[in-house]
């Protein structure tokens, strides 16, 4: 597959125009053919014609603002007059040999900014960074260029160019390399990718020090021609025998040189005792154990893997065996169905969270908080329920954090005792597997959950574990893309709300809750990738589903694509009532459509939502 070429910078456009005008003058076809052959930037007949039609404007920009030569698109400055004065002033200092610093740029903006006439002027890091990029020549002492020899049948011409690194960002890297090299912290994505590798320290708590890479397996070379010791580790493999030793093996085994065969005698062939966890894949399997180890590295707890999120709910409630369960009436329907089943077996009582009295909690109770909560992603303050659970000796807090997996939310930090996840939509990111897991604080809980999982028959299959292992390699990139897409979509809809107000009543998202500060702190500043649109009429949601070009309304898809679905009557959600008195407000599910944002380009998602709503208006 051919690589996608970057857009041309201002300097590259000027070079194309110079080549076109000569001397000697050339046709657009000749110029197009030549620069296409260079494969340095994207160019077509349409773009070339556009550059030719506005060549005076391009040349004027290049002559007036030489600092913009590396820009692919001319920036729109917020304070053009002030920036012009600052550039003029600092360029004079630079020519006098003065080293320009960030503080000098800030002081110059404040000096020429005139707070009275520009009260909104704020000299931010972004403003300083933009200035430095436009005026890179002030910081470069050796601005050399490479030359590109152009040959054709009629002439030879040398064009000075900076095309050796097409699309490369000229901004200096804003990294403290010393702190990076001296840090022992392992990144989130690295833990995902390498936690299951057979390293000497497989938990990857810290980066191994340089000394840990030294090994005794190779001898010390006294010089480059003589090896003073054999090339093997005698602690791992036995020493080679003397030449006269009889190499005949007991039990008539195939012959191996002793240094290749670790078995000294037939006693080594005795069957070893295997732990219970390795007997059969109905209890455990190598891939599921590897998955658990990887997930433990990113959830800060002890993980027990199940074949679905509902099985994980069943597993934790069976393990705790509560007499009373306090849970919100909304949320994922599978949780309520599990409680209903347990009621037949153990007579467990279910109460809404609104009935929870923190001063009088019955013995052997469990609080289940789904946050963010299906179907529209509203967030509950986990710390509030964490304090209640902590102050009660006989109450446990279970948090269903399916809609905010790490790094969005870490419920243990808010007082949770157990965390439950479905691993399908976000961690797996595909529609070809089912899995869920419980995160506990103690190793003993994990051990007991493993034993009960075998009795429930809810162990995950080895192949499903393999599929989940495959997906975790790209998990962080996917979840952050989904969060970033959601933030852009929500901000777009808020900014253009009046455009759709004839059919759109309200946007529902966690970032728009009244307790926004608590929400964003709990979600570590991320926008969880679920929101809902409340429309004017109950018929609008049904009509809107047919208006999208590529946004899917297939409820069987649980992958990286954006899914749009009805809320009222949806078998996945406890939303059969026409209206629900939420702890946040009254929700009318009959007028809502739910969006679970995927990894597509956010521009495409916004365009499809826009055309869908416009079609509904028309």
Closest CA to 408 of 519, 255, 560, 261: 519
Q: Mind listing the domains of the chain with CATH numbers? A: 10-64 (no CATH), 286-470 (3.40.640.10), 474-617 (3.90.1150.10)
3-state DSSP call for residue 221? strand
Closest CA to 413 of 427, 401, 428: 401
pLDDT of residue 218 exceeding 50, the answer is no
Work out the number of other CB atoms within 10 angstroms of the CB of residue 584. 16
pLDDT of residue 69 exceeding 90, the answer is no
3-state DSSP call for residue 25? coil
Q: Could you read off the pLDDT of 282-327 as tens digits, one per residue? A: 677 889 999 999 999 999 899 999 999 999 999 999 999 999 999 9
Do residues 531 and 400 lie in contact, with contact meaning Cβ atoms separated by under 8 Å?
no
User: What is the dihedral sign for C-alpha 88, 94, 96, 98?
Assistant: positive
In this structure, what token pair is assigned to residue 377? 């992603």
- Model pLDDT, residue 81: 77
Rounded distance, CA 502 to CA 114, Å? 44
- Model pLDDT, residue 325: 95
In this structure, what token pair is assigned to residue 282? 């109905």
Look at the block and give the residue holding tokens 């409820």: 555
pLDDT band (50, 70, 90) for residue 411: very high
Look at the block and give the residue holding tokens 């190499």: 247
Rounded distance, CA 398 to CA 440, Å? 10
Would you list the DSSP string of 172-190? PP---HHHHHH--PPPHHH
Among 63-67, 214-218, 582-586, the range with the most confident prediction by mean pLDDT is 63-67
pLDDT of residue 144 exceeding 60, the answer is no
Which tops the pLDDT comparison, 411 or 560?
411
Rounded distance, CA 274 to CA 278, Å? 7
Q: Could you read off the pLDDT of 336-371 as tens digits, one per residue? A: 999 999 999 999 999 999 888 888 899 999 999 999
**pTM of this structure:** 0.58
User: What is the dihedral sign for C-alpha 517, 521, 524, 529?
Assistant: negative
Do residues 596 and 532 lie in contact, with contact meaning Cβ atoms separated by under 8 Å?
no
Do residues 338 and 308 lie in contact, with contact meaning Cβ atoms separated by under 8 Å?
no
**Average of per-residue pLDDT values in the chain:** 76
Rounded distance, CA 36 to CA 50, Å? 16
Q: Could you read off the pLDDT of 151-203 as tens digits, one per residue? A: 444 433 333 332 333 333 344 444 454 554 455 566 665 665 555 555 444 33
Query: Please, is 184 exposed, middle or buried when counting C-beta atoms within 10 Å of its C-beta (0-12, 13-18, 19+)?
Result: exposed
pLDDT band (50, 70, 90) for residue 399: very high
Closest CA to 589 of 567, 565, 572, 564: 567
Q: Which residues does 406 contact at the CB level (< 8 Å), separation at least 6?
A: 188, 298, 299
Q: Which residues does 417 contact at the CB level (< 8 Å), separation at least 6?
A: 389, 396, 397, 398, 440, 441
3-state DSSP call for residue 304? strand
Q: Could you read off the pLDDT of 430-477 as tens digits, one per residue? A: 878 899 999 999 999 999 999 999 999 999 988 999 999 999 989 999
DSSP code, position 152: -
CA 176 to chain centre: 23
- Section 252-269 average pLDDT: 49
Rounded distance, CA 607 to CA 586, Å? 30
- Section 14-43 average pLDDT: 85
Q: Where are the beta strands (DSSP E) in 446-491?
A: none
3-state DSSP call for residue 335? helix
Which residues are bridge partners to 544 per DSSP? Answer: none
């Amino acid at each position: 597959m051919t690589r996608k070429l970057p857009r041309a910078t201002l300097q590259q456009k000027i070079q194309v125009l110079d080549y076109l005008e000569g001397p000697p003058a050339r046709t657009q076809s000749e110029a197009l053919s030549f620069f296409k052959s260079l494969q340095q930037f994207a160019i077509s007949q349409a773009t070339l014609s556009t550059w030719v039609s506005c060549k005076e404007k391009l040349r004027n920009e290049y002559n007036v603002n030489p600092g913009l030569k590396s820009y692919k698109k001319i920036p729109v400055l917020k304070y053009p007059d002030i920036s012009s004065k600052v550039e003029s002033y600092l360029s004079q200092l630079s020519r006098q040999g003065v080293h320009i610093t960030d503080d000098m740029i800030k002081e110059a903006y404040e000096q020429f900014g005139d707070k009275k006439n520009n009260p909104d002027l704020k000299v931010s890091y972004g403003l300083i960074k933009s200035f430095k990029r436009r005026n890179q020549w002030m910081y470069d002492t050796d601005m050399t260029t490479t030359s590109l020899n152009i040959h054709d049948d009629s002439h030879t011409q040398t064009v000075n160019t900076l095309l050796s690194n097409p699309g490369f960002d000229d901004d200096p890297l804003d990294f403290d390399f010393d702190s990076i090299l001296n840090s022992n912290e392992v990144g989130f994505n690295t833990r995902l990718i390498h936690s299951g590798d057979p390293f000497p320290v497989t938990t990857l708590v810290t980066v191994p020090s340089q000394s840990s890479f030294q090994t005794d397996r190779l001898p010390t070379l006294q010089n480059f021609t003589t090896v003073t010791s054999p090339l093997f580790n005698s602690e791992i493999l036995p020493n080679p025998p003397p030449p006269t030793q009889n190499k005949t093996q007991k039990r008539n085994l195939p012959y191996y040189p002793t240094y290749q065969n670790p078995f000294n005698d037939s006693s080594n062939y005795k069957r070893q005792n295997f732990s219970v966890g390795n007997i059969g894949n109905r209890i455990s399997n190598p891939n599921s154990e590897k998955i658990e180890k990887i997930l433990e590295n990113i959830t800060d707890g002890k993980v027990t893997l199940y074949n679905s999120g509902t099985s994980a709910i069943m597993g934790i409630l069976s393990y705790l065996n509560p007499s009373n369960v306090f849970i919100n009436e909304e949320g994922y329907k599978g949780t309520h169905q599990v409680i209903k089943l347990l009621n037949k077996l153990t007579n467990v009582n279910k109460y809404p969270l609104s009935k929870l009295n923190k001063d009088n909690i019955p013995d052997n109770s469990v609080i289940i908080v789904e946050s963010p909560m299906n179907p529209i992603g509203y967030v509950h303050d986990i710390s509030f329920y964490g304090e209640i659970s902590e102050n009660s000796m006989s109450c446990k807090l279970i948090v269903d954090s399916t809609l905010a997996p790490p790094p969005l939310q870490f419920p243990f930090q808010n007082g949770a005792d157990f965390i439950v996840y479905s691993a399908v939509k976000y961690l797996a990111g595909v529609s070809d597997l089912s899995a869920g897991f419980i995160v506990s604080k103690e190793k003993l809980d994990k051990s007991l959950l493993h034993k009960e999982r075998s009795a429930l028959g809810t162990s995950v299959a080895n192949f499903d574990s393999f599929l989940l292992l495959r997906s975790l390699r790209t998990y962080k990139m996917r979840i952050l893309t989904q969060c970033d897409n959601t933030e852009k979509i929500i901000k777009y809809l808020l900014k253009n709300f009046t455009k759709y107000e004839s059919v759109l009543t309200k946007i529902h998202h966690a970032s728009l809750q009244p307790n926004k500060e608590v929400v964003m702190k709990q979600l570590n500043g991320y926008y969880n990738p679920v929101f809902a649109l409340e429309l004017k009429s109950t018929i609008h949601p049904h009509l809107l589903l047919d208006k999208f070009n590529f946004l899917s309304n297939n409820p069987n898809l649980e992958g990286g694509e954006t899914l749009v679905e009805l809320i009222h009557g949806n078998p996945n959600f406890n939303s059969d009532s026409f209206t629900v008195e939420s702890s946040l407000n009254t929700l009318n599910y009959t007028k809502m459509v739910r969006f679970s944002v995927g990894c597509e380009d956010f521009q495409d998602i916004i365009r499809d939502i826009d055309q869908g709503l416009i079609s509904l208006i028309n």
